[in-house]
Amino acid sequence: MNSHDTIIILDYGAQYSQLIARRVREANVYSRLVSWSTPAEEVLVHQPKGFILSGGPNSVYDDGAPTLPDYVIESGLPVLGICYGMQLLANRLGGRVVYSQHREYGPATLHLDQPDDPLFRGWQVAAVEPHQSQVWMSHGDKVEALPNGFVPLAHSDNSPFAAAADVARGYYAVQFHPEVVHTTQGARLLSNFVHHICGCGADWNPANFIDEQVGLIRAQVGNGRVVLGLSGGVDSAVAAALIHRAIGEQLTCIFVDHGLLRQGEATQVVETFQREQGMNLIAVNAVEEYLDILDGVTDPEQKRRLIGEKFVRIFEREANKLGQIDFLAQGTIYPDVIESAGKGKKDAHVIKTHHNVGGLPDDMDFELVEPLRELFKDEVRTVGSALGLPDSIIWRQPFPGPGLAIRCLGVITWERLERLRLADAIFVEELRRAEMLRAGTQQSFAVLLPVKSVGVMGDGRTYQEVIALRAVTTEDFMTADWARLPYELLAKVSRRIVNEVAGVNRVVLDITSKPPGTIEWE
């Protein structure tokens, strides 16, 4: 059980549910995101100080619509309903929810009716029009009549009860989405709820997390030995540093060079972690093994499963050489757990099988150590900095566990991997020169497409492969927008790839946001 003051967020299927959890943690309060259908005993064991009900795509009047669990009301704890959560709370307590003739999607002006309410403490109102602020709406239904005991706190042009509360019982509800950046003061609202209404202390921070995890790792591992798959990415690096701090020489890191890394990374991993960080590191060249199992495979989920299974088998093989090994450590983080419907999760839809979660075989022989599985990416970076890892590791852009296998669409051959590796290196190099690798984009890479196009080079006709460039901006990797890169930069990257990468005669740009797309192509 977690020792921090905890806020439970009930997930009703909104695309921004994970953002609510992240915003609460930014207020230095621990939060857990769970399905609304999770059994009461699994939720209440965390001894929450309050509940937040997320938005969702349903109407409260839909057949089979998600409901408000009895334990939420029976607990007597503060509750904040957001969008669908507001409608659910109002409907449950005797209010009236109706279909709106004028839906609200996008920015709206919020007019505060009760600016002194604790929910709006410190809320900076507009200078020209007092008690106004911008919020983000996304709803069809709305609350037409409040339950007994509720008073209106704010309204918009289309929502007479854009915010309302039963202060005596600690029930609060907002029709807008405070978790998104488009609600300019949403983070303050959520902070007010968890601190001033729920009474949570601000005790969720990297230093506390490190101290607690060191204790938990030592308790779990005891005198056992741990192996960790070190890819050189942020997550596995921070996991390695944290576990190494806890148990020192009991940790052995195994770096599997599967031939699916970016240009120069295999050498960099060995130099950084073995020579600079002083960790026990075993480097395994498994390029031929991976090329063999991936021969002819084009389905991305099959690629993931094969890579995950081979990953574990190699670990088992190397562990046998080391003697008794009891634990397998992984850099699994919270978005991995959320996005992978995985084993035993109810009411979840598989987006893709993450290498750290769904790709592992059921018959693996190790017990897992996953110290980062409750953290978002930004929290992982903060912990890494507190552990003393260099910025070159902390701010490395994300790289999928299956590596270039899911960026090399279609069949995988060494020739196609080398083609992709070089194109990707050119793209990254030019972004770095333009100082856009960290500040201008959060994830940038090249994708080799399984199609060919006609071109003209010199005096001859070509029929060669296509490279797609993908660059996104994001705060949390749950949602993302395509990066507006300068035309001059794109032109230079395209020119260099076509001229320097054999077998490529066309470069295209991916301008899809997430959602509806994902950041990776596979």
What is the pLDDT, as a whole number, of residue 74?
96
Mean pLDDT score of the chain = 87
- Element at 473 (helix H, strand E): strand 460-473
Which range, of 170-174, 323-327, 336-340, 358-362, averages the lowest pLDDT? 358-362
Is the pLDDT reported for residue 243 higher than 70? yes
Confirm if 80 and 51 have CB atoms less than 8 A apart: yes
Domain ranges of the chain: 6-197, 206-394, 407-509
Is the pLDDT reported for residue 160 higher than 90? no
**Residue range 161-167: mean pLDDT, rounded:** 94
Judged by DSSP in three states, 309 sits in helix
How does pLDDT run across 368-384, given as a tens digit for each residue? 999 998 898 889 999 99
What is the pLDDT, as a whole number, of residue 78?
97
Find tokens 């994300």 and name the residue. Answer: 398
Question: Residue 342's pLDDT band (boundaries 50, 70, 90)?
Answer: very low
**Residue range 49-73: mean pLDDT, rounded:** 92
Tell me, yes or no, if the two domains 206-394 and 407-509 fold the same way.
Answer: no
Active site residues: 83, 177, 179
Question: Residue 466's pLDDT band (boundaries 50, 70, 90)?
Answer: very high
What is the pLDDT, as a whole number, of residue 191?
96
Q: Distance from CA of residue 351 to its chain's centroid? A: 12
Which residues is 445 bridged to in the sheet? 470
H-state helical runs in 352-486: 377-386, 391-394, 414-433
- Residue that wins the pLDDT comparison between 1 and 388: 388
**Residue range 257-284: mean pLDDT, rounded:** 87
Could you give phi then psi for residue 228, rounded to 5 degrees?
-135, 135
User: Strand ranges (DSSP E) for 66-181?
Assistant: 79-82, 96-112, 132-145, 151-155, 163-166, 171-174
Judged by DSSP in three states, 101 sits in strand
How does pLDDT run across 188-208, given as a tens digit for each residue? 999 999 999 999 999 998 878
Helix axes 487-500, 414-433, angle to 10 degrees: 150
Q: Distance from CA of residue 508 to its chain's centroid? A: 26
The amino acid that residue 76 corresponds to is G
Report the CATH number of the 6-197 domain: 3.40.50.880
What is the pLDDT, as a whole number, of residue 355?
45
Question: Residue 426's pLDDT band (boundaries 50, 70, 90)?
Answer: very high
Report the CATH number of the 206-394 domain: 3.40.50.620
Question: Residue 271's pLDDT band (boundaries 50, 70, 90)?
Answer: confident
Q: Which two tokens stand for residue 260?
A: 């699916």
What is the pLDDT, as a whole number, of residue 139?
65
For the stretch 283-321, what's the b/e string if a residue is b when 16 or more beta carbons lie within 10 angstroms of its beta carbon?
beebbebbbebbeebeebeebbbbbbbbbbebbeebbee
How does pLDDT run across 76-131, given as a tens digit for each residue? 999 999 999 999 999 999 998 887 666 666 788 899 999 899 999 988 764 445 55
**Residue range 156-179: mean pLDDT, rounded:** 92
Cα dihedral 321, 327, 333, 334, rounded to 10, equals 150
Topology at the third CATH level for domain 407-509: GMP Synthetase; Chain A, domain 3 (3.30.300)
What is the pLDDT, as a whole number, of residue 351?
37
What is the pLDDT, as a whole number, of residue 344?
39
Q: What is the number of alpha carbons within 13 Å of residue 337 lying toward its C-beta?
A: 18
What is the CB neighbour count within 10 angstroms for residue 199? 12
**Residue range 284-291: mean pLDDT, rounded:** 95
**Residue range 128-142: mean pLDDT, rounded:** 71
